Amino acid sequence: MNKKLIAIAVGAALAAPMAAQADVSVYGRVQQELANTKYDGGPVVPGNDPNETIRQLTDQGKMGRLGVNATEDLGNGLTGLGHVGFVIPTGQGKPNGGITTRQSYVGLSGGFGTVRFGRLAGTYKGTNLDPYIATTLEARSFGGESRGNFGHNGFINDAIKYDNKFGMVKFSALLTAGNSTKGDNGDMQAAVDYKGGPLRVILAYSKNKEAGGANTPDEKRSKLAAQYKIGPGKATLSYESVKDYQSSNTGGLPSQVLDNVTPTTTGGSLGDVRFLMASYNWNLGNSNSLYLRYSNEKYKDQGDMKAKGYVVAFQHKLSRTMRTWAGYNQVKFDGIPGYSPKMTNFTVGLRKDF
């Protein structure tokens, strides 16, 4: 008992001067969904059920997290920044792949803007306009937005990121610096985000140099998105074009489809792909909202294979930090010789922020 008291006292003594110098906060999030997902159609592939139904209690999008944020006033308008955040999928004592890092960085903020160094959320990821990201209804897994570390899933290692705001325009840029064991210099991302009155417009670009390994094509992404307040809600339209989209980014596609997708190069490129998303999020008072979305993903170099889908979802905020939702989505895959598989999903979810 005395040893425990001594340890607590020592910890408090060490933390006291740190707390006096820096503002430290802990944050987190826990989320669970009860989802019923069904795949219909497709030829029998060894190890795959062409008419499979999956019922699961899940944090599939890895929304569960825990982190520490620290800021320190350095004087002369300069602020020191420190951050460490972890993915901790809700409901698993030992998550597959273990506990992983989301962001981990050190930085400075002042009149020049903000600069961060470390493992960072991609600039391209920051252009996401999907309110159901990291759920089984998310657009990035089912045709509405591009996937991968240099898309809307992106946390990028050994990076330098700069952010600033000029009037109604936010600018963000990211470069990879590489390290002694991984020569990934040359990756870059940039985004411009304009907000004025009811209108928001986003332009974004990403380049993953030699994305499939040495001497393979660069994966290049371009995005134009607009959001406009109409009546009680917001209408969103987003278009992306990706050149040499990597096969490793297709994690949201069912196995029946992946068995019929062939890389066009030895580096794993699937050729050129484009993504279209149109949605409307209708606010029903202060606590409720109805969300409608259409998405269309087209693989131009895969026989014009398409993934077309829609989502209908309802969300209720129980408080400022707790919400629940229910939703249905359907995705149909066309352009694959011999069959057109379909995925349907119904889910209910609960999330708590702290």
- CATH architecture entry for 24-353: Beta Barrel (2.40)
Q: What is the pLDDT along the chain (354 residues), one digit of tens a residue?
A: 444 434 433 343 444 454 446 799 999 999 999 999 887 765 444 455 556 677 788 777 778 889 999 999 999 999 999 999 998 878 776 655 567 888 999 999 999 999 999 999 999 999 999 999 989 999 988 888 988 888 888 789 999 999 999 999 999 999 998 654 444 567 999 999 999 999 999 999 999 988 877 778 889 999 999 999 999 999 999 999 999 888 776 655 555 455 556 666 556 777 888 999 999 999 999 999 999 999 998 888 877 788 899 999 999 999 999 999 999 999 888 876 655 678 889 999 999 999
pLDDT at 178: 65
Tokens found for residue 69: 């944020």
pLDDT at 185: 67
Q: Burial letters for 221-251: b for 16+ Cβ neighbours within 10 Å, e otherwise?
A: bbbebebeeeeebbbbebebbbbbbbbebbe
Q: Which residue do the tokens 């999330």 mark?
A: 351
Task: Quote the strand ranges of 41-94, DSSP E.
Answer: 53-58, 65-75, 78-87
- Residue pair 45/259 in contact by the 8 Å Cβ criterion: yes
- The alpha-helical segments, DSSP class H, found in 206-344 are 255-258
**What's this model's pTM, rounded to 2 decimal places?**
0.84
Residue-range domain boundaries for the chain: 24-353
d(CA 38, CA 138): 16
Residue 179 CB neighbour total at 10 angstroms: 11
Helix (H) or strand (E) holding 25: strand 23-40
DSSP 257: H
Tokens found for residue 282: 């209708």
Q: Strand 53-58 relative to strand 23-40: parallel, antiparallel, unpaired? A: antiparallel
Q: Burial letters for 317-344: b for 16+ Cβ neighbours within 10 Å, e otherwise?
A: eeeeeebebbbebbbbbeebeeeebbbb
pLDDT at 263: 62
DSSP 218: P
